[in-house]
Amino acid sequence: MPELPEVETFKRYIERTSLRRPMVHLDVRNDLIIRGIQRMDLIDAVEGGELLSARRHGKWLFLELSGGGWLTWHFGMTGRPVFFEGEFEPRFARALFRFQHGALAFVDPRMLGRLGLTGSPDEFIKERRLGPDALDITLDRFVETFRSSRGPVKTVLMDQRKLAGVGNLYSDEVLFQCRLDPLRDVRSLSEQDLVCMHRAMRRVLKRSVLVGTDFDLLPRSYLLRVRGRGARCPRCGSVVQTVKLGGRTSYYCPGCV
């Protein structure tokens, strides 16, 4: 699933390709990607205007509409934006924002992403009760959040109401960087553990954005480079293990925790 670095990369991509382009038509191919509004309300809000600016919070992208309000965009498990010119559109395009020149496609093979409208990003964030963005949260707020939580540390790290933007992949990396078992009770974490997590989270997310979320370009010391059956820990060489947590497969090194 696209997490904070992927959505930040999508944001920058849209800023480079699709802002300030007069939009002539919005082609919604499947209503499953629309949530909370009617198809025609979305079309009326978008057509004839422009996308003025982009903002991201956690895993959500917001696009400012010249006619007022913001488009909300969540990418689900497999969604991504693709700008193209010409008549050969990408496969699995579920919505097409057609400009006078070129088009922006919402490509989503599994159709788990969604588009919607909101009056403002701040209003949306409040309604959804999203936590602070993972790149904006201060150390004090981070420590306070974890001190007031219960359960496995990985579950807390992925809770979007506590901290927005970190999902299954990057939570594994943050915990690996700090030598923490994903099943460890959050109440047992020391101050040093929490400081390490906050620093590692910011470092890992920023590094992934820097390389355009290409894991092959991450440092060789990162677990994200070796995830998979039979992989070995880049730190100690132990075989990386998996554990199911909240329906997700978590990767960790038993030799490092």
Whether 4-128 and 139-252 share one fold: the answer is no
Which pair of structure tokens corresponds to residue 86?
């010409």
Structure confidence at residue 173 (pLDDT): 97
Q: CB 250: neighbour CB atoms within 10 A?
A: 22
- Summarize the confidence of residues 209-218 as an average pLDDT: 96
Structure confidence at residue 228 (pLDDT): 77
CA contacts within 13 A on the Cβ side of 43: 12
Beta strands in the chain (DSSP E): 23-28, 51-57, 60-65, 70-74, 80-84, 93-99, 103-107, 114-118, 241-245, 248-252
Q: 229 pLDDT exceeds 90?
A: no
Structure confidence at residue 139 (pLDDT): 98
Active site residue 248: yes
Active site residue 59: yes
Fold annotation for 139-252: Helicase, Ruva Protein; domain 3 (1.10.8)
CA angle 147-248-220, nearest 5°?
A: 85
Q: 103 pLDDT exceeds 80?
A: yes
Residues 210, 106: Cα–Cα separation, whole Å:
23
- Summarize the confidence of residues 182-195 as an average pLDDT: 97
pTM, whole model, 2 decimals? Answer: 0.95
Structure confidence at residue 3 (pLDDT): 98
Confidence of residue 172 (pLDDT cuts 50, 70, 90): very high
Q: 231 pLDDT exceeds 80?
A: yes
Q: 171 pLDDT exceeds 80?
A: yes
Q: 44 pLDDT exceeds 80?
A: yes
- Summarize the confidence of residues 29-41 as an average pLDDT: 93
Question: Picking from 72-86, 205-219, 228-242, which range would have the lowest pLDDT averaged per residue?
Answer: 228-242
Confidence of residue 86 (pLDDT cuts 50, 70, 90): confident
Set 21, 56, 59, 114: catalytic member: 59
CATH number of this structure's domain 4-128: 3.20.190.10
Q: 136 pLDDT exceeds 90?
A: yes
Active site residue 2: yes
What is the overall mean pLDDT for the chain? 96
Cα distances from 21 to residues 95, 100, 129, in angstroms, run: 17, 7, 32
Set 2, 5, 81, 152: catalytic member: 2
Q: Where are the domains of the chain?
A: 4-128, 139-252
Set 3, 6, 8, 173: catalytic member: 3
Set 11, 21, 80, 248: catalytic member: 248
Q: Are 128 and 114 in contact (CB under 8 A)?
A: no
